[in-house]
Structure 1
Amino acid sequence: MQAEMIIRPTEPRDVGELCQLLNEIIEQGGTTARRQTMSETEFLEHYVTNPISISCVTAQAADGTLLGFQTLHLYDWLPSGWADIGTFARVGSTAKGIGTRLFQSTLQAAADRNISTINATIRSYNIGGLKYYGKMGFVEYKREEAEPLEAGQAAEKVFKKRAV
């Protein structure tokens, strides 16, 4: 784990670097359901200024490099009192405690907004994501068929939940 890591609210000045970080994850494939890269404007509107966003927090290294971010959104398809989480760490930086540190802040934001349950939707091929959310105390509660990957492999959406 990075001892000198700072967890803080995402700010508009972070958008360029975080958008690049997300687009690298998308281009690599295998760890996000997103298939299309985003512009900085799309990133800002979806993750930072979106009215359904409860929280967007950023992990920053001591040298100022942004290591990842985590979001919490309210979606109509979730039960009342539930929010949906998304976690993104810089390519090559997973398993360094970034997600664990981000989650502490996200969990507090959920509690502050009286969220009772956090949902994580992970594609079945995202082994790292399944392990991460399991480590954070999420348990599977359902599966749904998902779009197949470009190579034609079947995929499922795995839904995990955790009480706040």
Structure 2
Amino acid sequence: MKDIVFRNDKPENHSGYLLWQITNMRQKLLNNALKKIELTYPQFIILSGIQWLNTNTELVNQVKLIHFTKMDKSVVSSVLKSLEKRGLVIRQVDPLDTRAKTLQLSAEGLSQMKNALAIVKGIDDVFFDESKFDIQQFNSTIIELIKENSD
């Protein structure tokens, strides 16, 4: 006899599953578009995170970047290594903590980030079309969930 686990249930009743699906759909669109400029979406997030933090704080290091992006420590480390190898990110010893390294974008990294930002914005303008739903309410809800579930 079959064990019926999902009797009278539907995937569309599960917010986490729906969030997983929409995140994957958006990330696939973004990765396909960013492939043209030889970036992945996580690479873009790290490049833009470094630029954002450098614009708004004094020194950026890997710990601050991890906290800002909410990405896994090992993923950030791996992506940073590949971006540094490509000459897009510059790591230097932090003058305040010689165990840490500061992060900044090279001129080429800044150029790549700006190109990627235009691509991502174009996709998001269509994906999150404000004529389809209340984007301000959507963003407020997401921000609240992030705050409630952050470390």
Q: What is the TM-score with the length of structure 2 in the denominator?
A: 0.27
Q: Hey, which of these two has a bigger chunk of strand by percent?
A: 1
Q: Hey, which of these two has a bigger chunk of helix by percent?
A: 2
Greater C-alpha radius of gyration: 2
